[in-house]
Structure 1
Amino acid sequence: MTRDRFLLLLKCWHVSDVSNDDKTDKLHKIRDMLSMITDKFQNILNPGKYVVIDETMIPWRGRLGFRQYIKNKSHRYGVKLYKLCTPEGYTYQIEIYTGKKDQKREVDHSQKVVLKLMNNLTEEGRIVIVDNFYTSLSLVEKLLSQKTFLCGTLNIRRKYLPKKVINAKIKKGQIIGKMNKKGVKILNWVDKRKVLMLTTCKDHDDKLIDTGKKKRGTNESIKKPGCVIMSSYYTTLKKGIKWWRKVIMELIFGTALINAWIVYNSINDDRNKMPKRLFVEQVIEAFTKKDLEVDTEATANNAHHLEKGSKKRRCVGCYDKLRAFLTSREADKKVKKILTECTSCKKYYCLTCFNEKHP
């Protein structure tokens, strides 16, 4: 396909019926596709006990009413997405930020984001892991009323925090905390710097837990609060296209592809698990094959059989198997070198791989 034809097809690509769009919805161009994608995500996998909420940016520097600027992100300008994921990285729910709908405080906005993402996951005892953008006393109390727990870092500027805890002068490695009648705990722990944590998990307290790791040099055990250990779960598109096409491309070729890779590895044993890059390559190869394969009877011209070549080369089948868990250089060193070549494919195979490839 030529470049001009590709650009023409891209220009004609739409994912909604423009005549029936609700123009008051800022996401009307992608609303149907967004709903379909998230429905698929939710039908495939049900999150376990722990879920993680975070935001991400889809790079965009063009003109857009709800384009965001976040200073500490690698892509500072773009469309902001809120995601609810499993600790392994599987995306379960997505919300796209389209700007303020009212003039209420930002804490109200962050609370609404969490409650909306957790809409159908409450009342089941789950634990939500978040960062200090979302944590607040009003949010954790709301979640507790829905039998849902929260753990995350805490912004010292939040209201109604116990001053004896947040202003306590403690040394490195020490911890202080306080719990109210509802079971909300606020902890102040000093590691390299002060770390404030908010948690409603029943097994979180002001005791330090051995992480199983050792300090370099001293071989001393590294200890951290349970809530800090749990919070560790918190884990290039083409220029010049429409913003909504960029979002859809990110959801399909980014989020959906990563979800598929996570599901693939979760249902396979260690021997058959696949690195992300190889998985993506195989998906691309599968989608770029011709739609129709014509079965023909084997003749002298198209029959597959092995012949002895003049030079030893690596077995294509063995190399592909090794690349599932080794780098290209490591696989090249370990792969067997053979003399047998398929006369039809013009590729070198050992007898085992030849029979697998041409049953």
Structure 2
Amino acid sequence: MDELNKSFDDLLIESGDEFDEGGDVLDEMVVNALESSEESDWNSSDEQSDSSDEGSQWSSTIRRRDQFRFQGFEGVLDRDVLDYQHPIQFYRRFITDEMIELIIRETNRYGLSKYPDWTDIDEEELLKFLAICFQMELEIRSNLKDYWSTRKVFSESFAAKLISRNRFVQILNAFHFADNDAPDKSNRLYKIQPILDMLNEEFAAVYSPGKNVCIDESMIPFRGRVIFRQYIRGKRHKFGIKVYKLCCAGGYTCKFIVYAGQQRDRTCPSSQQAVLDLVAPYLNEGRTVTADNFYTSIALAELLIEQKTNYVGTLRKNRLGIPVDIKNARLKRGEVVARQNNKGVTVLKWNDKREIYMLSTCHDASKGQSNKPVMVEGYNLAKGSVDLSDQMCSYTPFVRKTTKWYLRLFFHLVTQTSVVNAWHVYCVVKERISIKEFKCRIIESILEGWRPTEPTTSRPKLCEVSGPKRTSRRRCVNCYKNGSRIHGAPYARSHAVHLTRNAPFDLCKYLLIL
């Protein structure tokens, strides 16, 4: 029992500072984006120094150049999803049978090497395990052992009806996604890389974003030891694993990249490379990419223009290529100064509570109804998609920490990001419900033993029931039909003759007419 308690304390104890309360999108999103991005980890070699406009032709004449017409598709790509009825079907579209088989195979492999008395896990037990994890998100208790407590103060134990406490901990300790005997030393994420690849593939195959997409980083809380753990002072979760995300309206995550450190063979800044990798499947279709000043540079905007893609974002004042007259301009509150180069990149400085630098390839320097530059209004509107994704994940978080970084990453992606994506598609196809209600229906379906129906390959056939034949008489359909036409339905119901199975129908017609 001491060993079991130690396992709970060391492996799965609640972390109070990992609970993220959902909140509304802040009104002053641009200012907050500037403050948080400046505190993020960023290599000084990533084009930070020197503000020179040599080699660029900048003009004070600003023209709106939204020259790219959107030619992509927005909506559900997989037509089979349109026939889904239950939340569990939408969720299992992302958590595929292939992924379940991988988890079962690698967990059993590692479990046999770790426990002499290991019993192989199957699909039913794995789904029950995930159902308990979902329930832990909905009902937070101070200690993991309390979910199996029989004390009256904890009411009825949900988890105990599915899996015993010892078995749950045993599965959690053995949870694996890759073979430890065949590691890929060149990939820091090899322990979870198959899961990452499967999720990215399914995210892209189910739903296609519209014209506006947004890029930002999310922090997955983690305080354990891992070489690529990040510290960002401006984030609520200051320590964790950084994930670059490409999101669209509604909070759907189209693609994500886990940051595992800088690549030695990179040819451009890591922030710029992250943008190019995320938007690669959606280039040359007239989309508009929105990101904060961690990613924004004039060079990136010009690269995207060549790929028929617009860019909008906040800009750091020490980025390479900003016109000197913009940087040196002294503005009163509310004033704007802007320049546009010959490739269509517009750089703007607006003095609000502080000086804000913006870059856009599809806006001019005019102001909107809120007396803010339309460039700022467009940025705030598009940036909400990533914030909505993080906000929906924070409503029912999996608030258990672990010393294994790949488990923390797995549970975040499978019990939060995948659920938000499935919920978004469900709201588009069926009806709009809360994310909490969506998770509750997933749990209920797992408990009921839901299984997807197998598609039929031929037309259904009626088979004669074996046993004694029916001897009772039934109303003749021809008799009732003709009687209704001539005398009305009430008369036909009371006068229709009840015949045996092989009786001649012509007799009925004469009787009804008489």
Normalising by structure 2, we get a TM-score of 0.51
Q: Which of 362, 375, 386 is equivalent to 1:227?
A: 375
Unaligned runs of 5+ residues in structure 1 are: 211-221, 293-359
Matches within 5 A, 1:43-62: 43-62=205-224
Aligned partners of 2:401 and 2:278: how far apart in 1? 30
Deviation at 1:116, TM superposition (A): 0.6
Structure that is richer in strand per residue: 1
Change (3 A) 1:42 1:104: closer
Matches within 5 A, 1:98-137: 98-102=260-264, 108-137=269-298
Aligned partners of 1:56 and 1:177: how far apart in 2? 31
Q: Which of 209, 212, 223 is equivalent to 2:368?
A: 209
Aligned partners of 2:332 and 2:443: how far apart in 1? 54
Matches within 5 A, 1:62-101: 62-101=224-263
Is 1:169 paired with 2:330?
yes
Q: Is the 8 A contact 2:213 2:247 kept in 1?
A: yes
Q: Is the 8 A contact 1:129 1:150 kept in 2?
A: yes
Deviation at 1:89, TM superposition (A): 1.1
Residue equivalent to 1:277:
436
The residue type paired with residue 267 of structure 1 is V
Q: Residue deviations 1:41-72, cap 9 Å, x none?
A: 00110111111000011111111111111111
Q: Which of 198, 205, 210 is equivalent to 2:359?
A: 198
The structure with higher relative contact order (CA 8 Å, sep 6+) is 2
The residue type paired with residue 206 of structure 1 is A
Deviation at 1:241, TM superposition (A): 4.1
Residue equivalent to 1:355:
none
Change (3 A) 1:104 1:22: closer
Deviation at 1:103, TM superposition (A): 8.9
Deviation at 1:234, TM superposition (A): 1.2
Residue equivalent to 1:34:
196
Deviation at 1:193, TM superposition (A): 2.2
Change (3 A) 1:63 1:114: same
Q: Is the 8 A contact 1:68 1:77 kept in 2?
A: yes
Residue equivalent to 1:178:
339
Deviation at 1:25, TM superposition (A): 0.9
Change (3 A) 1:161 1:276: same
Matches within 5 A, 1:282-321: 282-290=441-449
The residue type paired with residue 16 of structure 1 is A
The residue type paired with residue 151 of structure 1 is V
Q: Residue deviations 1:167-194, cap 9 Å, x none?
A: 3222222211000000000011122222
The residue type paired with residue 312 of structure 2 is C
Aligned partners of 2:300 and 2:332: how far apart in 1? 30
SS at match of 1:170: coil
Residue equivalent to 1:344:
none
The residue type paired with residue 442 of structure 2 is V
Aligned partners of 2:443 and 2:350: how far apart in 1? 47
Residue equivalent to 1:240:
402
SS at match of 1:65: coil
Is 1:265 paired with 2:414?
no
The residue type paired with residue 100 of structure 1 is Q
SS at match of 1:234: helix
Q: Is the 8 A contact 1:16 1:33 kept in 2?
A: no
Q: RMSD across aligned C-alpha pairs, in angstroms? A: 1.8
Aligned partners of 1:179 and 1:164: how far apart in 2? 12
Residue equivalent to 2:418:
256
The residue type paired with residue 180 of structure 1 is N
Aligned partners of 2:403 and 2:428: how far apart in 1? 35
Q: Is the 8 A contact 1:87 1:234 kept in 2?
A: no
Normalising by structure 1, we get a TM-score of 0.73
SS at match of 1:248: helix
Matches within 5 A, 1:128-147: 128-147=289-308
Deviation at 1:104, TM superposition (A): 7.4
Deviation at 1:291, TM superposition (A): 5.4
Deviation at 1:2, TM superposition (A): 2.8
Deviation at 1:153, TM superposition (A): 0.5
Identity of aligned residues (%): 39
Residue equivalent to 2:178:
16
Change (3 A) 1:291 1:50: closer
Moved >6 Å (runs of 4+): none
SS at match of 2:280: coil
Deviation at 1:160, TM superposition (A): 1.6
Aligned partners of 1:91 and 1:284: how far apart in 2? 23
SS at match of 1:6: helix
Aligned partners of 2:171 and 2:266: how far apart in 1? 43
Aligned partners of 1:191 and 1:284: how far apart in 2? 48
Deviation at 1:242, TM superposition (A): 1.2
Unaligned runs of 5+ residues in structure 2 are: 1-162, 385-397, 452-514
Task: Select the structure of larger CA radius of gyration.
Answer: 2
Q: Is the 8 A contact 1:188 1:194 kept in 2?
A: yes
Aligned partners of 1:230 and 1:87: how far apart in 2? 13
Matches within 5 A, 1:318-333: none
SS at match of 1:177: strand
Structure that is richer in helix per residue: 2
Q: Is the 8 A contact 2:214 2:246 kept in 1?
A: yes
Deviation at 1:20, TM superposition (A): 4.2
The residue type paired with residue 168 of structure 1 is A
